[in-house]
Amino acid sequence: MAETRVLDLGRLQRAGIGAFFRPSQVEPLGITYDELRRLVKRGEVEHVARGLYRLADVEPTEHYTLAAVCARVPDSIVCLLSALSVHEIGTQVPHEVWLAIPHKADPPRVPLVKVRLVRFSGAAWSYGVQETHFEGVPARITSPARTIVDCFRFEHMIGREAALEALHDGLGTRKVSTDALMRVLDVLSNRRLRAALDAVAQ
């Protein structure tokens, strides 16, 4: 019987991979598809969904779902209500993962998780976007200031009340500053947010 290689979180992280991974990501580590199946059979790896696996002994965190989605859709950005939740701004509790993908990209298939897609292009794809990790999975997320600006840019999707709450809570808790919001607005202009900031200043 063939010997199965050891696969642990440390080894994955050294390769720039997290607790969730795709078969193609572990192939360079010498883990073939047959070895991956043996790891699943031994209970060391979980087959979460088609094309998506997870180390079984890694304790799930509050960002379990985000980690799974970002592993499945690496060319994406966590945004809007999901980003607000990560940054602990406001009281919105998203029941789906809000994800931005490139403007012309095909919609990804994400089994078992409800995903709400928006599309970014040009400066919106890179400005105010931060690198982060969820359960060791490399990911990108909009910064607190960028997230609030986006709430007004996509107000038709999340609602006026949620956008205003994000603004007032972000400023009130000092998660963002007016200057930080204005810097984003210089790149991604929005009249509704400018008007709301004028109202706050009065």
- Give the pLDDT confidence of 8-44 residue by residue, as tens digits: 667 777 777 778 888 888 888 888 888 888 888 888 8
Are residues 44 and 107 both part of a single domain? Answer: no
> What pTM was computed for the model?
0.83
Domain count along the chain: 2
C-alpha span between 120 and 125 (Å, rounded): 5
Mean pLDDT (whole number) for 90-101: 95
Mean pLDDT (whole number) for 44-64: 85
Are residues 40 and 97 both part of a single domain? Answer: no
Q: Are 98 and 114 in contact (CB under 8 A)?
A: no
Count of alpha carbons within 13 Å of 160, Cβ hemisphere only?
A: 3
Which pLDDT value is given to residue 1? 42
Torsion angles phi and psi, residue 165, rounded to 5: -60, -45
pLDDT at 162 over 90: yes
Are residues 77 and 39 both part of a single domain? Answer: no
Q: Does residue 46 lie in a domain region? A: yes
Q: Is the dihedral of CA 115, 147, 73, 132 positive or negative?
A: negative
Tokens 């040009």: give the residue.
Answer: 122
Q: Answer with the residue of higher pLDDT: 1 or 159.
A: 159
Are residues 99 and 13 both part of a single domain? Answer: no
Domain residue limits at 132: 72-201
Mean pLDDT (whole number) for 114-138: 95
C-alpha span between 157 and 82 (Å, rounded): 13
Q: Does residue 173 lie in a domain region? A: yes
Torsion angles phi and psi, residue 128, rounded to 5: 70, 25
- Quote the mean pLDDT of the chain: 90
Give pLDDT tens digits for 129-156: 999 999 888 999 999 999 999 999 999 9
pLDDT at 3 over 80: no
C-alpha span between 72 and 23 (Å, rounded): 11
Tokens of 168: 């007032």
Confidence tier at 4 by pLDDT (50, 70, 90): low
Confidence tier at 61 by pLDDT (50, 70, 90): confident
Tokens of 106: 């095909």
